[in-house]
Amino acid sequence: MIEFEQTFRNFLLRHQEKYNRTYHFLILMDAIITAAQRIELYYRTGALQENLGVAGSINVQGEEVMKMDEIAHKIVIHYLQSTERVIQAVSEEVDGILDLNKEGGRYFIYFDPLDGSSNVAHGLPVGFMFGIAKRQLDPNLQGPEDFHLRAGIEYIAAGMFVIPTGMFTLALRDAGCWRFHADETNTYVKPVRMKLPENSKSWELAFNAANTYTFKDSVQKWIAENEKKFTFRYLGALAGDFHRLLSNGGMFMYPAIVNHPDPKKNRPQGKLRLMYEANVAAFMCKEAGGDAVDETGSPLLEIKPEKHHQRTALYVGSKPLIDEISKVLKG
Ligand code: FDP
């Protein structure tokens, strides 16, 4: 007997109706899902099609090989454009802000089409991460659209696909963080609400331990005093690491690099990108009952971006741990 699970599309339809919303968001999400499935297909067959090569190299047919992240970017933009509902997009792969439908568009989208590039050559998990905000729709209340870069607290949704695992997580503002998986027909099904576990037994720590000596002294001290309480897990792709964290709890961190013996290698602003990496994880985490702060211990979602490719340090995870590290960072 076949068991039918609730589909993502049905879940979202119910959600939009429950909150008296339009169907525009369904159209946008449909495009995002199609893009993710196409990226996933390319990724799975990448080695065969010689898509996992280095950009600029030449394949056996004498064609230039595109890097997988360039392919992923092109796929996402194609499907976003087709919705006619996106006003502007920011992609990790492109320097400038992309105007898609400046007059009629309704959503801003900030995305990294293939996060975790060091995993690509091995076919290991990577992520397609995105945050979505809405244009100012009521000129009487909000004034005309001013195209400001949205802070995380202004996002209406954020999500990620862990490619090529068939797992998709989406957080909707004030409506929770939900996980879906692809069934036999490649349809996302079975919404499961994610809640970070309160019991610290399963909590894990994820960070690049090789960088520990480069963190600021108070963070190094905290690690030395606390690391024995946790299991370490680090995949090197935020989406994959964060996917585990949402189930098991704990903390993912990418602190600022301030103590590198070669000062040119310091990254006082942090490494991760605010708008399409850190905020996406922070938004999802908040909807799952957790929290996120930056290197000053301040709420990450409240940072007002000055540049669309702005970097930040990130501490994200279970609320008690984030409260604890926040005190350390402030002190
Ligand atoms: P990557 O540079 O391999 O694309 O900012 C991207 C990111 O991966 C994250 O996905 C990941 O968590 C982090 O950087 C890994 O950085 P390190 O290799 O420095 O640990």
Q: Tell me the pLDDT tens digit for each residue of 17-33.
A: 999 889 999 999 999 99
Summary count for the chain: helices (H), strands (E): 8, 15
Instruction: Tell me: pLDDT of 9 over 90.
Output: yes
What pLDDT score was predicted for residue 235? 96
Would the CB of 237 count as within 6 Å of ligand 1?
A: yes
Beta carbons of 219 and 175 less than 8 angstroms apart: no
Query: What pLDDT digit, counting tens, does each position of 174-220 carry?
Result: 999 999 999 999 999 999 999 999 999 999 999 999 999 999 999 99
- 172 with 215, same domain: the answer is no
Question: Distance between CA atoms of 271 and 171, rounded to whole angstroms?
Answer: 24
Any domain includes 271: yes
Domain boundary among the residues 168, 193, 218 is at 193
Instruction: Tell me: pLDDT of 262 over 70.
Output: yes
Would the CB of 305 count as within 6 Å of ligand 1?
A: no
Q: Which atom of ligand 1 is nearest to the CA of 239?
A: 10
- 89 with 236, same domain: the answer is no
Q: How far is the CA of 120 from the centre of ligand 1 (A)?
A: 12
Number of folded domains in the chain? 2
Instruction: Tell me: pLDDT of 270 over 60.
Output: yes
Residue nearest to atom 19 of ligand 1 (CA): 208
- 163 with 243, same domain: the answer is no
Q: How far is the CA of 116 from the centre of ligand 1 (A)?
A: 5
What pLDDT score was predicted for residue 79? 98
Would the CB of 113 count as within 6 Å of ligand 1?
A: no
Q: How far is the CA of 60 from the centre of ligand 1 (A)?
A: 31
- 208 with 180, same domain: the answer is no
Beta carbons of 291 and 285 less than 8 angstroms apart: yes
- 149 with 32, same domain: the answer is yes
Any domain includes 1: no
Q: 293: domain CATH number?
A: 3.40.190.80
Model pTM?
Answer: 0.94
Beta carbons of 215 and 258 less than 8 angstroms apart: yes
- 133 with 224, same domain: the answer is no
DSSP-derived pairing of the beta strands 204-206 and 231-232: parallel
Q: Report residue 84 as tokens.
A: 């006619």
- 186 with 317, same domain: the answer is no
Q: How far is the CA of 237 from the centre of ligand 1 (A)?
A: 6
* Range 128-156 average pLDDT: 91
Would the CB of 166 count as within 6 Å of ligand 1?
A: no
> Which H/E stretch holds residue 36?
helix 24-44
- 24 with 148, same domain: the answer is yes
- 206 with 186, same domain: the answer is no
Query: What pLDDT digit, counting tens, does each position of 46-80 carry?
Result: 766 666 666 565 555 555 556 888 889 999 999 99
Any domain includes 267: yes
Higher-confidence residue of 12 and 21: namely 12
Q: Which atom of ligand 1 is nearest to the CA of 241?
A: 12
Would the CB of 92 count as within 6 Å of ligand 1?
A: no
- 178 with 268, same domain: the answer is no
Q: Which residue out of 118, 208, 232 has the highest number of ligand 1 atoms within 8 Å of its CB and is therefore the one to mutate?
A: 118
Any domain includes 89: yes
Any domain includes 2: no
- 214 with 115, same domain: the answer is no
Q: Which residue out of 120, 245, 271, 273 has the highest number of ligand 1 atoms within 8 Å of its CB and is therefore the one to mutate?
A: 271
Would the CB of 299 count as within 6 Å of ligand 1?
A: no
Instruction: Tell me: pLDDT of 314 over 90.
Output: yes
Number of Cβ within 10 Å of residue 45's Cβ equals 12
Residues of the domain holding 119? 8-193
Any domain includes 3: no
Domain boundary among the residues 138, 168, 193 is at 193
Residue nearest to atom 1 of ligand 1 (CA): 116
- 206 with 291, same domain: the answer is yes
Any domain includes 93: yes
Would the CB of 115 count as within 6 Å of ligand 1?
A: yes
Query: What pLDDT digit, counting tens, does each position of 221-254 carry?
Result: 999 999 999 999 999 999 999 999 999 999 999 9
Domain boundary among the residues 171, 193, 215 is at 193
Question: Distance between CA atoms of 295 and 290, rounded to whole angstroms?
Answer: 17
What pLDDT score was predicted for residue 54? 61
Q: 152: domain CATH number?
A: 3.30.540.10
Beta carbons of 298 and 331 less than 8 angstroms apart: no
